[in-house]
Amino acid sequence: MVSHQELSAQQVISYLMDLEDHFASHRFRNLYWTSFERYRAGDQEDEVGVRVDGVTGGLVLRSDQTADYLLRGKQLEAISLWDFVAQVDKIANLSVPNSRGGEGTDEEEMDWSDCGTSTRATAIEELLLDTHRFRPRSEFQDTHLEARTHFLRIRLPTKRYIPVPIGPAIPRRDTTDPAVNERYSRLMLILFKPWRNVADLRTQGQSWIEAFDEFVKTCDPFSKSRMDNMQVLHECKDSRDDH
């Protein structure tokens, strides 16, 4: 096998022993932003996935990334989609060992109901930066398909994922095309402004550009930095093409 494939003995051994063949300084997680855009446009049933609840007869979002975010618990009300993908895990109820049973891990769950009022009132930014071993957890809303079998848990900041937007290229913010500018503003609101429905993204009668300009004035510096980095990527491509 070595002679025919021109592989070194070390490569063959690594393959046979199922050893890692690459190492990275960060972890990555896909963010399927187009499904949120379709939900915003009102195409839930055909594109996002909606079923009729057999008990109530109401429409219920199918279990996916869109439903996980939109039907998150009230404790995570103030978290943006970007931070949700980066630092919130969906955990099966039976997959986490009981910390009181003696089998400990470096990332165990802590229900908000076990905490004092001051903890529940803590800003979401502080929860995301908290390094305590026992991680805050939150239940899904009752309409989530996995509300009884799964819960949400905030990851340690040292184990944070880097979201990878999956879909068409992120629009430029320095465009002179009004349609592209509106699309950019809408996407940045979807990614970085906490929301559950379209009314949370902009007020009635407000354009997407106006809503985004208003949001930028009050958003946290981390979100501004990420939006700046997205634009830097476009500028780097421009520089590459110029040379």
Residue 189 lies in a domain: yes
For residue 16, name the pLDDT band (cuts at 50, 70, 90): confident
Q: How many domains does the chain have?
A: 2
**Is residue 17's pLDDT more than 80?**
yes
**Is residue 10's pLDDT more than 70?**
yes
The radius of gyration of the chain's CA atoms, rounded to the nearest angstrom, is: 21
Whether the CB-CB separation of 146 and 165 falls below 8 Å is answered with: no
Are 156 and 182 in the same domain? no
Are 128 and 87 in the same domain? yes
Are 109 and 85 in the same domain? yes
Which amino acid is residue 208, in one-letter code? W
Contacts of 243 (CB under 8 A, 6+ apart): none
Are 62 and 148 in the same domain? yes
Domain edge (last residue) among 164, 179, 199:
164
* pLDDT averaged over every residue in the chain: 81
Residue 181 lies in a domain: yes
For 216, the token pair is 């930028």
Residue 14 lies in a domain: no
Higher pLDDT, 62 or 25: 25
The four Cα atoms 108, 137, 151, 186 give a dihedral, to 10 degrees, of -130
Share of the chain above pLDDT 90, in %: 52
Tell me the mean pLDDT in the region 212-222: 95
What pLDDT does 5 receive?
59
**Is residue 78's pLDDT more than 90?**
yes
Residue 50 lies in a domain: yes
Give the Cα separation of 126 and 119 in Å (integer). 10
Which amino acid is residue 14, in one-letter code? S
Contacts of 197 (CB under 8 A, 6+ apart): 70
For 78, the token pair is 């103030």
Which tens digits make up the pLDDT trace of 89-103?
999 987 555 544 444
Residue 45 lies in a domain: yes
Range of the domain at 138: 27-164
pTM over 0.95: no
| Nearest one of 56, 38, 55 to 47, comparing CA atoms | 38
Are 131 and 215 in the same domain? no
Poorest-confidence range of 32-41, 116-125, 153-162?
116-125
CA distance readout (Å), 130 to 95, 124, 207: 23, 10, 36
